[in-house]
Structure 1
Amino acid sequence: MRPLRLHLENFGSFRAPTSVDFHDVDYFVLVGPTGAGKSTVIDAICFALYGTVPRWGDEKKTGLALAPSATSGKVGLVFESGGRRYGIVRSLVRGGRGTVTTREARLDELDPAVDPALGITELLGAVVRNLAEGEHVTAETQRLTGLEYRYFTQCVILPQGRFADFLHAMPSKRQELLIQLLDAEVFDAVKQRAADEEKQARAAVQAAEGQLASLADADEAAERAAVRRVEELKDLADRVHAQIGALRGLDGRVTELETALREARGALEALGAVAMPPYVPTLADDLRAAAEEAGRLAGEATRREAEELKAEEELSALGDKAALTLALRAHTEHGRLTSEIATTRTGLDAARADEERARRELDEATARREQAERDLQRTRDQHAAADLARRLEVGEPCPVCRHPVAEPPSHPAPAAFDQAERHVADCRAEEERTRRRHRETETRLLKAEQSLSNLQAQLAVREEQIQVHPDAAELRRTLTAIEEAEHGLRQARQAARAARTAAADAERHQTRLRQEAARALRELDAVRDTLVPLGAPPLDRDDLHAAWTALLTWCHGERGRRRQAADDLERHLDGARRERDAARDALCALLADKGVPVPHPPDPDAIVRAAATACTRAEGDLERVRDQRRRAERLREQIRVHREEAEVAHELALRLRANNFESWLCGEALGLLVAAASQTLRELSDGQFELVLDARNTIEVIDYAEGGMRRNVRTLSGGETFQASLALALALSDQVAGLAAGAARSLDSIFLDEGFGTLDPATLDTVATTLERLSATGDRMVGIVTHVPALAERVPVRYEITRDSAGSHVEKKTT
Structure 2
Amino acid sequence: MRLHRMTLTAFGPFGGVQEVDFGALSEAGLFLLHGPTGAGKTSVLDAVCYALYGSVPGARQGAGTTLRSDHAAPAARTEVVLELTVAGRHLEVGRQPQWMRPKKRGTGTTMEKAQSWLREYDASADAWKDLSRSHQEIGEEIGQLLGMSKEQFCQVVLLPQGDFARFLRADAEARGKLLGRLFDTRRFAAVEQHLAELRRGTEAQVRSADERLLAAAQRMEQAAGRVAQLPLPEVAAGEPGLAEGVLTWAACARSAAREALTVARVSQDAAQRTRDAAQDNLDGVRETHRLQRRHTEAQEHAERLAGHIEEHRADQERMERARKAEAVAPALALRSSADTAQRRAADEESRARRALPESFDGAEAAALAAAARKAHEELGSLTSARRAEQRLRELGHELGELEHEERADAAALEEASAWLADWDAVRHGHQSRIDEAQEAATRAGQLEGRIGPARDQVEAARRRDALGSSVTEAQEEALAAGRRAGDAREHWLTLKEQRLRGIAAELAAQLADGHPCAVCGSVEHPAPARRSEGHVDRQAEETALGAYQRADQERAEAEGALASVREALAAATASAGGAPADELAAALSELEQEYAQVRALASTLHAAREAYAHDEHEHDRRVAAQQDAERRAASRTSRRENLVREQVLLQEELTKARGGAANVADRARQLERQAALLTEAAEASRAAQEAAERLKEADGRLAEAAYRAGFDTPRSAAAAALDAASHRELQRRLDAWQQEDLTVRAVLAEPDTQAAARRPAADPAAAEQAAQSAEQTLRRAVSAQAAAEERCRELDRLSRQAASEARQLAPLREEYDRVARLATLAAGTSADNERKMRLESYVLAARLEQVAAAATMRLQRMSGGRYTLVHSDDRAGRGARSGLGLHVIDAWTGRERDTATLSGGETFFASLALALGLADVVTDEAGGVRLDTLFIDEGFGSLDDQTLDEVLDVLDSLRERDRSVGIVSHVADLRRRIHAQLEVVKGRAGSVVRQRGLSG
TM value normalised by structure 1: 0.37
Bigger Cα Rg: 1
TM value normalised by structure 2: 0.32
